[in-house]
Amino acid sequence: MQVFFLVLSKTECLEPLLEKLLECGANGATILDSTGMMRVLDQRGDDAPMFGALRHLFDPERKSSKTLMMVLEDEQAQKVRDIVNEVTGGLNQPDTGVMFAVPVLFAEGMEGCHQ
C-alpha cells in the first residue's frame, strides 16, 4: 500500500480528476485547501531580493491549491498517476502540481474504502 499525495495548483481540474479516480476504483481521498510557501512569503509584502525574482512566476489570481491524499493499493498507483497526468495535461506543465507517494507501514479503519 502507498499513501499518494497530489498538490494540485491547477484547481479547475479537481472535479474532473475526482470523477476519473472514482471510475477507476480509487476512492477514499481527503482533500485539503493548501497554500505554497512562496505564496505565503509573497503575501508578506517585503521586497527581499531573493523573492522578488520569483514573483513573476505566480499566477496572481491563484491564491491556493488543493492537496489530495489517499491510500492506494500498489497496483492502483500507476493508474492514478496516469489519470492525474491525463486530466491536468501533465504535471510537467508550469504551475500545475506535484505528486508523490510513500509506502504505508500500516493502515486501520479502511474497511470498505477499497474495492
Report the distance separating Cα 43 and Cα 96, nearest Å.
20
pLDDT in tens, 64-77: 899 999 999 999 99
Sequence letter at residue 70: M
| Radius of gyration, alpha carbons of the chain | 16
In percent, the amount of the chain with pLDDT more than 70 equals 74
In this prediction the pTM is 0.78
| Domains in the chain with CATH codes | 2-35+64-103 (3.30.70.120)
> What is the pLDDT, as a whole number, of residue 94?
87
Question: What is each CA distance from 58 to 19, 37, 86, 102, in whole angstroms?
Answer: 28, 12, 23, 28
pLDDT band at 15 (very low <50, low <70, confident <90, very high): very high
pLDDT in tens, 87-111: 999 999 988 999 999 999 998 887 7
